[in-house]
Amino acid sequence: MRQHVSHPTAVVGATVVAVLLLAGCGSAEDTSAKPSKSSSSPTPSSASAAADTSLGRGTWLLGLSSAGGADAEKATTTYVSFDPSTGVAHARKMPGVNTPSADPDDAALLVSADRLWAIPDTSITRDEGRSGRLTIYSVTSGASKVIDMRARTGDSSITSLAWAFDPRAPETLRVVDSKNRVWLLAVAGTRASRAGTLRRGPWVFADGFNHNTGQPYVESITSDETLPAGNGVADTSAVARNGGIVRASGSAVLGKLPQSPCRLGAAFTDGQGTSWTFCADSPAIKTYYLSKDGDHWTAYGKPSGPVAPIAAGFPLVLPPQR
């Protein structure tokens, strides 16, 4: 059974690989630095030079996590909207969370499918849950919005426990309450609808949501079984979004790619196999791409301005919406 403990994300311990491009070897995408003439510098492979880089033109959403507190028990997420083709970037810092419930795989559930709203954690604070008033935050501005669960559900005694965005429906949330009822609601809507009740008995709800569907699940109190089956420790699936795979810092799926040029980075692989990685080694974020079956990362576009926080984890990379 998953416990409500903090899950700080470890910084990727990969050695920094300096990516220097030789003149005339497919460096047209790199506008951030002059190509090096050093004979020891790696040359982009022909496969990497031929990669489809159309996703580089548009706004990506990056999620960076910072640890704080005496024992690094407080986690804060900063969202960076970044167009690597122009270097234009904007940051939005969320409220900090003590002992968060969300694992790195859950990071994509904290953002609405249309990238407009975010919640700080899958777990709802005791004060908010009991008050019936839940706050969500704009990803693109300093705005926030309060959702009155008592008015939305018609239950004046409701206590909310946990929530997650539906990754397939814009501005749609699932909320689980203390009676194990599941509520489905739209951010801009007026009423919530019942979407089922989770099992009780030898099962417990521990803020668990499937990272690819947003559906909540319960866990056995005596084993690793879940209802529905295949969740929890049994779920080894990659985080799938927008037809591709999210590769968080420190994740096994990130480790399957060639050695990263970043000390702290995360990546996204699109449906055609082109991978993009973003480095948060400094306040300026840098971008690299890799073709399917390629073995060399190529620098792309322009670095951002100083927007990245001093981060301990990089759990989220989402491509431009098409």
pTM: 0.83
Q: Are 151 and 185 in contact (CB under 8 A)?
A: no
Q: What is the pLDDT of residue 51?
A: 85
Is residue 47 very low, low, confident or very high in pLDDT (cuts 50, 70, 90)?
very low
Q: What is the pLDDT of residue 70?
A: 66
**Rounded CA gap, 268 and 84, in Å?**
14
CB atoms within 10 A of CB 292: 15
Q: What is the pLDDT of residue 273?
A: 96
- pLDDT at residue 96 is higher than 60: yes
**Rounded CA gap, 225 and 221, in Å?**
9
Contacts of residue 151, Cβ cutoff 8 Å, sequence gap at least 6 = none
Whole-number Cα distances in Å, 257 to 19, 85, 292:
16, 23, 10
Q: What is the pLDDT of residue 73?
A: 73
**Rounded CA gap, 70 and 77, in Å?**
18
**Rounded CA gap, 59 and 83, in Å?**
4
243 versus 22: the higher-pLDDT residue is 243
Q: What are the tokens at 61?
A: 């959403």
Whole-number Cα distances in Å, 297 to 21, 113, 132, 271, 320:
10, 29, 48, 18, 20
Lowest mean pLDDT among 70-79, 98-107, 111-120: 70-79
Domain residue limits, the chain: 46-318
Lowest mean pLDDT among 32-41, 152-161, 203-212, 224-233: 32-41
